[in-house]
Amino acid sequence: MEEKSNKLLILYASQTGNALDAAERIDREAERRGCPVVILSMDDYDIKCLPREDTVIFVVSTTGQGDTPDSMKVFWRFLLQKKLSKHWLKGAHYAVFGLGDSGYQKFNFVAKKLDSRLSDLGATAVLERGLGDDQHPSGYEGALDPWLQSLLSRLYKIKPSFFPQGPGFVISNMKLIEQPKVHITYHKVETTHSQMSNASDLKGIQMQFERARSMSPVKFSNYKNKPDCFLKMIKNQPLTTAGGGKDVRHFEFEFVSSAIQYEVGDALEVLPSQEPAALDAFLQRCNLNPEAFIIVHCKDTRNNFPDTFMNTTEGPIKLRTFVELTMDVASASPRRYFFEVMSYFAKAEHEKERLQYFASPEGREDLYQYNQKERRTVLEVLQDFPSVQMPFEWLVQLVPPMKTRAFSISSSLLAHPNQVHLTVSVVSWMTPYKRKRNGLCSTWLAGLDPQLSICIPAWFYKGSLPRPPPSLPLILVGPGTGCAPFRGFVEERAIQSLSGPTAPVIFFFGCRNEESDYLYKELWLHHSQNEGVLSEANGGGFYVAFSRDQPQKVYVQHKMLEQSQRIWNLLVAKASIYVAGSSTKMPSDVWSTFEEIVAREGGISRDFAAIWLKALNRDGKYHVEAWS
């Protein structure tokens, strides 16, 4: 038998960073007790080596409707191979912690599947899987804290060799505080280099962007270093009326670098810019020189050598540019560990005590109320504790990263060559303490002037709605901004109909009021008349539900039931169902409505209707794209 590894391995699969945070928390607590640890993203690990590991902790997020994070897809496909025997992982120990949201139907689906598969392959669970829940009053940490204590307790018992100093040994936190995972060097830069780094041309912008992002210590699936292309906005059009309670915009962009051949149903990610005043306030609060040139070196976690750093960049970059492109200082809330590290640098005793309380298990729920519920930003937290002066190395490590924001594409390249369109609701809300908050990206996009030609870094990726062939009948359900991808579907089908026969399309749209938020009204009505692709004459139809225009609320489900015979006829004709919109109740309500229609029109029981729909789903004929 091969000799087992003498290190605890932590493998994480993180789409937006939460699983990485949880994995790093486990890493810190194990290291503090003298346990040798290696922490890696799943896509950085050679899964063929898994049988040689002694103990592996898996930390995985569930995304969308029960999907695996991008960094886990290859890993998971390998695990599902039928050639792997039930003894493949015999002798290996494991534990699984999942991050999910119980508001979704497939809560922590990925963690549950992984736990089951590892057991099937012969691995032994150290303890029962932990399931973090975003709906918990303390977020996922409500489950992580007790699970982590149980994990360490179990590891002490079954793997004493991992803790050579004994169960009572704990490394001083101050020693860890002296060892951030990044190192920053400051450089004097020649005038020519400075001019190049500040270049306003596209090549200069791209160089600055890639240089800054490649230096960041962040490592998770949704953190992008190199954009697919750059876009410039050419239209910023309100779709809703003022005073209607919502601000929904139609944005059009042109490619200013290489054009991307996207398809309808794809998604677009953009990286927003931060408010200059907020950046200035952060730099001033942290006593940072915005004009300094820096290189950020990151610790090599693959080898776990504290003094080995990966230099991932070609040269220095201006400090302000690095912060602007990599550190979200004025929209994202800091993590709990941020407060713990702050406590070590607090000079005022009352601030130190409060920060220590926030970082403790006892203060977890109060921290959640103060921080996450109020969506306090890094800048606001630092301003609330003025005696804290954190080193820049720790800020780089702990400030949440600037993330891309994803939107469903609402155009077809056939209809709009060299363009991509978005339909975006400008996000704003009130916190429990009545402080107004605005979504960073949607607010930034809404404030852009198309005349200014701002270069916007962008990425394209496959969404949950595959492009349908012209011969496929479609049943589309898209209330609110859920109509976005179907605008592209309808535009493309209309162009295809000019050169040959196309299958019918029936579309159910919903909004609050006909006068205030009837998105793309003229487009839908145009295609539903004169034998258009949405016309009843062509076997399709367009049906809209106005939920607030009458005393009794009317939703898309009600309109679907009114057209149950039409829906059934299309289902019999092998139609595919596409559903897009809010992830709250809508997807499950629509599914339930389809069950009712299939049972009624097919003359079968509700249970058989559910089985029939599940078969449709398995066959790739029922697609959902939902977002929170």
Q: pLDDT tens digits, residue range 106-149?
A: 889 999 999 999 999 999 999 999 999 888 877 888 899 899 99
Amino acid residing at 95: A
- Give residue 259's pLDDT band: very low, low, confident or very high (50, 70, 90): confident
The whole-number average pLDDT for the span 140-164 is 90
Beta bridge partners of 257: none
Distance of CA 28 to CAs 18, 22, 94, Å? Answer: 15, 10, 18
CB pairs under 8 A, 24+ apart, for 307-312? 309/183, 312/214, 312/215
The reply to whether 164 and 192 lie within a common domain is: no
pLDDT digits (tens, 9 = 90+) for 424-451: 999 998 888 888 889 999 999 999 999 9
d(CA 586, CA 591): 9
pLDDT digits (tens, 9 = 90+) for 183-217: 999 998 654 344 434 445 888 888 899 999 989 88
The reply to whether 195 and 265 lie within a common domain is: yes
Asked if residue 91 lies in contact with residue 63, where contact means CB atoms within 8 angstroms, the answer is: no
The reply to whether 325 and 287 lie within a common domain is: yes
In this prediction, residue 21 carries a pLDDT of 86
The reply to whether 265 and 384 lie within a common domain is: yes
Q: Which residue has the tokens 């363009």?
A: 419
d(CA 294, CA 611): 60
pLDDT digits (tens, 9 = 90+) for 446-462: 999 999 889 999 999 98
- Binding-site members for FMN are 14-19, 61-64, 134
In this prediction, residue 501 carries a pLDDT of 93
The reply to whether 28 and 148 lie within a common domain is: yes
Answer yes or no: is 420 within a domain. Answer: no
Q: Residue 72: which domain range? A: 8-171
- Binding-site members for FAD are 375, 405-408, 439-442, 627
Distance of CA 483 to CAs 409, 411, 477, 578, 601, Å? Answer: 10, 11, 8, 11, 27
Answer yes or no: is 366 within a domain. Answer: yes
pLDDT digits (tens, 9 = 90+) for 545-586: 999 888 888 899 999 999 999 999 999 999 999 999 987 789
HSE of 243 in the Cβ direction (CA atoms, 13 Å)? 1
pLDDT digits (tens, 9 = 90+) for 52-99: 999 999 999 988 777 888 889 999 999 999 899 899 999 999 999 999
- Binding-site members for NADP(+) are 481, 547-548, 553-557, 589
Answer yes or no: is 466 within a domain. Answer: no
The reply to whether 163 and 187 lie within a common domain is: no
Is the pLDDT assigned to residue 593 strictly greater than 90?
A: yes
The reply to whether 503 and 526 lie within a common domain is: yes
The reply to whether 192 and 117 lie within a common domain is: no
Q: Which three-class secondary structure state does DSSP give residue 8? A: strand
- Binding-site members are 14-19, 61-64, 134, 375, 405-408, 439-442, 481, 547-548, 553-557, 589, 627
Residue 261 neighbours by CB distance under 10 Å:
7
The reply to whether 167 and 187 lie within a common domain is: no
Answer yes or no: is 484 within a domain. Answer: yes
Look at residues 147, 171, 195 and tell me which one is the last residue of a structural domain. 171
The reply to whether 162 and 201 lie within a common domain is: no
Q: Which three-class secondary structure state does DSSP give residue 125? A: strand
The reply to whether 205 and 129 lie within a common domain is: no
pTM: 0.86
Answer yes or no: is 576 within a domain. Answer: yes
Answer yes or no: is 421 within a domain. Answer: no
Look at residues 171, 191, 210 and tell me which one is the last residue of a structural domain. 171
Look at residues 373, 398, 423 and tell me which one is the last residue of a structural domain. 398
When mean pLDDT is compared across 72-76, 118-122, 303-307, 320-324, the lowest value belongs to 303-307
In this prediction, residue 306 carries a pLDDT of 40
Q: Report the chain's mean pLDDT, rounded to a whole number.
A: 89
Distance of CA 123 to CAs 24, 55, 66, 127, Å? Answer: 23, 9, 24, 12
Instruction: Output the domain CATH number for residue 36.
Output: 3.40.50.360
pLDDT digits (tens, 9 = 90+) for 356-365: 999 988 898 8
Report the percent of the chain where pLDDT is more than 70: 94
Is the pLDDT assigned to residue 623 strictly greater than 90?
A: yes
- Looking at the structure of the chain, the number of domains it has is 3
d(CA 90, CA 126): 13
Answer yes or no: is 106 within a domain. Answer: yes
> Of 496, 504, 573, 568, which is closest to residue 534 (Cα–Cα)?
504
The reply to whether 151 and 194 lie within a common domain is: no
Which carries the bigger pLDDT value, residue 197 or residue 384?
A: 384
Answer yes or no: is 441 within a domain. Answer: no
Instruction: Output the domain CATH number for residue 604.
Output: 3.40.50.80
Number of DSSP helices (H) and strands (E) in the chain, helices first: 21, 23
